[in-house]
Amino acid sequence: MIPDPSPGGPLPEIMSRRACAWPRRMQQGPARLITAEELRTWIVHEDERLLVVAKPGDVVCHPSKAGPWSSLVGAVREFTGLATVHLVFRLDRETSGIVVLAKDPKTASRLQVAMQERKIGKAYVAILTGAMREPVTVDQPLGDDVASPVFVKSAVRADGQRSVTHFSPITVAADDAFSLVRVVTETGRKHQIRAHAQWLGHSLVGDKIYGPDARCYLDFIDTGWTPALADKLLLPRQALHCAEIDLTRTGLAHVFRAPMAEDMRRFCAERGIVAPAEL
């Protein structure tokens, strides 16, 4: 475990937090619509209790005001004809990978309790900036970053909630500019992997909030994806993919996997990052 204060520096105390120098903004931006045809291709598993999909990195999980086909939950309701479906856990819009939805309240409750008891295993694949050559465990509390212009941003702070993230390098680019890593979380805080990666000094490629400058996110809201943002961020979304969900400790004999998203695989090929075929 990396102790405080290295490499992130002393934890900020709540009384010493400065006010944000810019107007703080809520997360926003139009959600793209999903089609029934593409949703069908995302399905990894379906039975009487569960629907499991491999979500792309541009889809909102929770229902939005733009209609049922603008979110994963809404689209699944329309696709299955079920009155309700239950997200066991969510992924950020720009995170790809496995999402588990329960078809009935009993299964949903069972899995949500299992989540609270840390009985559901989650493993991610991420592309980080810089060379990470040794496994690292970050055990640092997370809370709201009130100094950020982005309302939803989290940060390491002394009065935050305990958060534990394990990073294990898979391969490093030939020029040491990037690392492909496996990430396992013990806790499930908002933006946990992204905030801990930033604290380590290895932010995710393409991360508009936790990357080179959080104002990239505000610029993206105002102007969309531009050449200037492409130069800073390299990818139009954060390079984070939920590769595996393990439900075996919940009494459901399932381990669900999704191959690494194609945009991340392509980035690896272009940047000299050797991605194992099994990812």
Q: 29 Cβ partners below 8 Å, 6+ apart? A: 220, 221
Distance from the first to the final alpha carbon of the chain: 26
92 is catalytic: yes
E strand spans, 70-160: 86-87, 96-102, 121-129, 136-139, 142-144, 154-156
Q: Is 227 helix (H, G, I), strand (E, B) or coil?
A: helix
Instruction: Identify the active-site residue in 92, 145, 207, 263.
Output: 92
How many other CB atoms are found less than 10 A from the CB of residue 219?
A: 16
Q: 211 Cβ partners below 8 Å, 6+ apart? A: 198, 203, 204, 205, 232, 233, 238
Q: Which residues are catalytic?
A: 92
